[in-house]
Amino acid sequence: MGKKSRKSKKDSPLSPQSISKGEIFRERIEKINPNILPELKKRPEFGVRINRHLADLEVVEELKREGFDLRPVQWYPYLFTLPMEQRREILNTSAYTGNKIYIQSPSSVLSALSLNPQPTDWVLDLAAAPGGKSLIFSEVAEKVSAVEPDKKRFFRMKRNFKEHKAKNIQTYNKDGRFIYKSCPGWFDKVFLDAPCSSEAHIDLEKEGLTWWNLRRIKRFSQLQKELILSAFRSLKPGGTMVYATCTFAPEENEEVIAHLLEREPSARLVEVEVPISNKMEGITQWEGKNYPDEVKKCCRILPSGAYTGFFFAKIEKEK
């Protein structure tokens, strides 16, 4: 009798392995918040931000005259949402091709604004590509240093900054885990949108779980723990940093924050006022692990409308 084909053991979309992986994913997400899964299947709106280096609110009136249904976001005058049906169409406008507008989730913008950059600040964006948040910082802060280790992503990011006329951004093709060694305590503000398992962008209708698994989450968690220590050690005493991801997994969120608090006694979590209702505080228990009560000050944005799932925490370094 011939050997059984090994193909049956591979994770095809319809195999038992794939189904069980989907069940594990759904179970985990339900445990975090049962309102997440229904919203993951919806993508009704998207966000558009005005590039203040090249445009002002007049570009909004131009787009409205062209028939675009821009709706203002109440907490930021340069951010608007549109129906998803208009996304492809807006990519062909002179406003988009001329880099006057930038497509960006309100969740992403909200996390960047929570850093509260000031005109005299030197901001470090530690895992910066594609560069949307660095562009926000560059509209306010005196100087921005954007770090990206992946060479292809780095050069795309550099081109992005050039096209959007952000002249106060310095770029570095470096591994963020070791930045603190060359510039310890240099920066007024640090932003770390860490590489993650990107659970908020999984499309359950289109085999979105192909690359998702628990081993990958653990690998990202280890990388994030190294990056957050580097970010914090690059921060000036009295400075502020924000840690963010676009994933739901507590291993990549609260656990990483708990790791920083354990390793760095001068780290202090700050509660952020988040002007939306689709949010929840950080969780203190997950899969048999207990996190300090302080992680309740973290914010998890739940997907809704133009808002994609997001997590962020604001941290101060005591003087």
Which pLDDT does position 19 carry in this prediction?
Answer: 56
**pLDDT above 70 (res 8):** no
* Alpha carbons 246 and 108: distance in angstroms, whole number: 9
Which pLDDT does position 203 carry in this prediction?
Answer: 82
**pLDDT above 50 (res 147):** yes
Q: Which of 183, 196, 246, 298 is catalytic?
A: 246
Q: What percent of the chain has pLDDT over 90?
A: 88
Q: What is the pLDDT of residues 28-44, one digit of tens each?
A: 999 999 999 999 878 89
Which pLDDT does position 13 carry in this prediction?
Answer: 42
Q: What is the pLDDT of residues 60-81, one digit of tens each?
A: 999 999 999 999 999 999 999 9
* Alpha carbons 253 and 312: distance in angstroms, whole number: 8
Q: At what angle do helices 214-233 and 254-263 cross, to 10 degrees?
A: 40
- Catalytic status, residue 299: no
Element (H, E) at 29: helix 16-32
pTM given for the model? 0.92
Confidence class of residue 276 from pLDDT cuts 50, 70 and 90? very high
Which pLDDT does position 205 carry in this prediction?
Answer: 73
**pLDDT above 80 (res 293):** yes
> Is 256 within 8 Å of 228 (Cβ atoms)?
yes
12-21, 154-163, 190-199, 222-231: least confidently modelled range = 12-21
Nearest C-alpha neighbor of 145 from the set 228, 55, 157: 157
Confidence class of residue 3 from pLDDT cuts 50, 70 and 90? very low
**pLDDT above 60 (res 177):** yes
Q: Where are the domains of the chain?
A: 105-317
Which pLDDT does position 153 carry in this prediction?
Answer: 98
The class level of CATH for 105-317 reads: alpha beta
Mean pLDDT confidence for 89-114: 98
